[in-house]
Homo-oligomer: A and B are copies of this chain.
Amino acid sequence: MECQLKKRWARRKEARPQELLAAALDLFVERGFNATRLDDVAKLAGVSKGTLYLYFANKEELFKAVIRENMVPALDEAEDVIARHEGHSADLFRELVMGWWARVGNTKAAGISKLLMAEAGNFPEIARFHHEEVVKRRDAMIARALERGIARGEFRQVDTKEAISVLAAPIVMLMTWNTSFNACRIDPIDPQHYLDCFIDIFLNGLLCQPVRGKQAV
């Protein structure tokens, strides 16, 4: 009996940070960093406010942990996809976009992008941290995929450095819009259609052998 109790407590103890991070992600995304009360984060995680400070030095550190927790695994996976991929780069492109959507975009974690845009100014350190740990890796990934396509003669020769951002933009925006719909949009964007349209236009703009999508030209 006592043993079980201890075990439960012990397991509890190790689960705490995860529970707090999950609660924090939920509320940060829903309400924004500033508007999120640590009281509510603690309550949602089922602990008291004081406990939060046992695991995270302050609100900012909690934010950083939320970013790390939610972005790193998805990046690992995406890098894996690129490394393993064989075949036409258009397919790799599609797979990456769709995979990212399934792994992040369709998730609460999609709101992190918005959060960062919002708070970059107020918390330069967080912005730098995010740039180091997330943006750089993401951009490197896209670069690899693009360069692979160009090297294989499947993509046109484009300015890789700029193309990375141009390519990332519609996805980041979709995540942002999708996150904030409840608040302002009456006619929500349908993510699936949006992504199809994006891939259609973008691939057509990129391919050496354009494939005219729905219509036969």
Q: What is the interface of chain A, defined by CB distance below 8 A to chain B?
A: 30-32, 34-35, 114, 117-122, 124, 127-128, 130-131, 156-159, 161-163, 165-166, 168-170, 172-174, 176-177, 180, 183-186, 189-190, 193-194, 196-198, 200-206, 208, 210, 212-215, 217
Contacts and interface: CB of A to CB of B under 8 A. Distances in A.
Contacts of A202: 166, 201-202, 205
Contacts of A156: 204, 212-213, 215, 217
Contacts of A157: 214-215
Given A31-B122, A206-B201, A170 B166 contact: yes
A204 to B, nearest CB: 4
Contacts of A203: 205
Query: Copy number in this complex?
Result: 4
A32 to B, nearest CB: 5
B205 A122 contact: no
A194 B168 CA distance: 12
5 closest A-B pairs by beta carbon, nearest first, are: A118-B118, A205-B205, A127-B184, A162-B197, A169-B173
Contacts of A173: 165, 168-169, 172-173
25 contacts: A30-B121, A31-B122, A32-B118, A35-B121, A114-B117, A118-B118, A120-B183, A124-B183, A124-B184, A127-B180, A131-B186, A156-B213, A157-B215, A158-B200, A158-B213, A162-B190, A162-B193, A162-B198, A165-B173, A166-B198, A169-B169, A172-B173, A201-B206, A203-B205, A204-B210
